[in-house]
A and B are shown apart, each in its own frame.
Chain A
């Protein structure tokens, strides 16, 4: 239960950070580019983590399903935060 709360807290943190980045991007045209840079860096990092999964997996000492679940959760949290901020945050 405590573990589930911990993972949920990380997920919530990712969502909030992503939507705050999206909100910052919506604030000013200069920050818009910064937002895209951050999002693209996140996407590139996820892609690199997906490509080099076995090396990173041994470094993090995670099993294969856990590792892919972690990647999917990070991607979902970023996308969810950004989309929510874009759709209903204005």
Chain B
């Protein structure tokens, strides 16, 4: 079947041609034939162009639906890829063999304890500092008494006396527990 556009254009051209032929100085029989053919072709042209409108709208709707489907397909594909990647990388915690894990832990600890690492705060104060502090505090307690230590070393005199006393006791307990 010929294309609808081609059919429509042919019908329009023939209708115009027959009309002009009918307007031209032909004998009356030729005019009659031309008029009837022009009428027939223009009526056909009206019907054909109506079908053409339907076809065009149908094609546009199909195009939109296909585009929608394409988008959906792309989305589904992407989701599948993401799920596959997640299965490969995300959902399997610690599948390392124990040697590798030990190695990794060791290197991590090494990095963490490296002296050039950027320490922040006092949380990473080494035990040797605590030990030296404990020994100094104990020496001072023995030499000058608790009051001096709490007021001058811990700076917790006056209203914070109880707190200072507790802190001193805590330091001494810690030292005794660790047997420094």
A interface with B by C-beta (< 8 Å):
1-3, 5-6, 8-10, 12-13, 15-17, 19-20, 23, 27, 84-85, 88-90
Contacts and interface: CB of A to CB of B under 8 A. Distances in A.
A13 B31 CA distance: 16
Interface stretch (B20-28, B69-77, B167-175): B20-28
A9 B46 contact: yes
B23 A5 contact: no
Given A6-B49, A6-B53, A13-B43, A88 B23 contact: yes
A6 B52 contact: yes
B68 interface: no
- The SS class assigned to the B binding surface is helix
A23 B52 contact: no
Contacts of A23: 22, 31-32, 35
Contacts of B12: 5, 8-9, 12
B50 to A, nearest CB: 6
Contact of A9 (B28, B39, B49, B56): B49
A6 B22 CA distance: 23
A75 to B, nearest CB: 18
A89 B16 CA distance: 15
Contacts of A88: 23-24
B23 A9 contact: no
Contacts of B56: 1-2
B49 A20 contact: no
Nearest to A13: B42
Contact of B23 (A10, A13, A89): A89
Given A6-B49, A6-B52, A23-B31, A12 B23 contact: no
Given A23-B31, A88-B23, A89-B23, A6 B42 contact: no
B15 A12 contact: yes
26 contacts: A1-B56, A2-B49, A2-B52, A2-B53, A2-B56, A3-B53, A5-B12, A6-B46, A8-B12, A9-B15, A9-B42, A9-B48, A9-B49, A10-B46, A12-B19, A13-B15, A13-B42, A16-B18, A16-B39, A17-B39, A19-B23, A20-B35, A20-B39, A23-B32, A85-B23, A89-B22
